[in-house]
């Protein structure tokens, strides 16, 4: 395997943010499954929810940073149109899921978001919670997960079959 030179790879900041985001998204699903598997009302259930919220807020911040970086940095090589479209959809999920998760937490669950107690807890609002929980639901999150699976398979195809350097430039 030939290692690519720095000029042939995506800028280090974009690579770092890509893998950090991928790791945090894995944590988001893991913390959600761990929360669902723990006893209602227990301290550990609360801990998993708060960890989930914290990781979700970090994903939101990183995605804003990443979109800003993309405007200012030159990416390596070209990307096929279907992949560009899928990446665009990813950015949509990476922004939309945290916003509606935050609304769900703020207007439904508790005054404590990701280890911070809000200074003035927002009033519970069932209409906002209903909308936010529909959008921030298993169904939507699992569509996102399925697309991540397709993205991973496409990366495997590039890396193992085509061997065209698309994976190595993100490494």
The footprint of ligand HEM (CB under 6 A) covers: 18, 21-22, 25, 28, 32, 49, 52-53, 56-57, 59-60, 70, 75, 79, 83, 87, 90-91, 94, 97-98, 101-102, 104-105, 109, 113-114, 136-138, 141, 148, 151-152, 155, 166-167, 169-170
13/18 with CB nearer ligand HEM = 18
> What is the separation of C-alpha 66 from the centre of its chain, rounded to a whole number of angstroms?
12
Q: Would you state the torsion angle of the CA atoms of residues 162, 165, 168, 170, taken in this order, to the nearest 10 degrees?
A: -110
Q: Residue 112 and residue 95: Cα distance in Å, rounded? A: 21
Residue among 124 and 138 whose Cβ is closer to ligand HEM? 138
CB of 159 to ligand HEM, least distance (A): 8
Instruction: State the minimum distance, in angstroms, from the CB of residue 114 to ligand HEM.
Output: 6
Smallest separation (angstroms) from ligand HEM to the CB of 121: 14
Instruction: Return the residue matching tokens 């598997």.
Output: 37
CB of 66 to ligand HEM, least distance (A): 7
For residue 154, give the 3-state DSSP assignment. helix
CB of 156 to ligand HEM, least distance (A): 7
- Say which residues have a Cβ less than 8 Å from residue 171's Cβ, sequence separation at least 6: 9, 15
DSSP 65-127: HHHHHHHHSPPSS---HHHHHHHHHHHHHHHHHHHHHHHHIIIII-SEETTEEPSSPPPP-HH
Task: Give whichever of 65 and 167 is closer to ligand HEM, judged by the CB atom.
Answer: 167
């Amino acid at each position: 395997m030939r290692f690519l030179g720095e000029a042939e790879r995506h800028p280090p900041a974009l690579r770092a943010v890509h893998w950090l985001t991928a790791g945090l998204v894995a944590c988001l699903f893991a913390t959600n499954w761990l929360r669902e598997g723990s006893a209602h009302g227990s301290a550990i259930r609360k801990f998993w929810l708060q960890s989930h919220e914290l990781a979700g807020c970090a994903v939101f911040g990183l995605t804003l940073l990443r979109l800003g970086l993309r405007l200012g940095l030159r990416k390596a090589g070209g990307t096929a149109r279907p992949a560009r479209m899928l990446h665009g959809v990813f950015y949509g999920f990476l922004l939309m899921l945290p916003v509606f998760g935050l609304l769900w937490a703020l207007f439904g669950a508790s005054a404590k978001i990701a280890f911070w107690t809000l200074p003035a807890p927002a009033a519970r609002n069932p209409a906002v919670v209903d909308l936010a929980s529909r959008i921030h639901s298993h169904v939507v999150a699992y569509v996102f997960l399925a697309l991540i699976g397709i993205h991973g398979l496409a990366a495997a195809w590039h890396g193992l079959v085509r061997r065209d350097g698309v994976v190595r430039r993100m490494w």
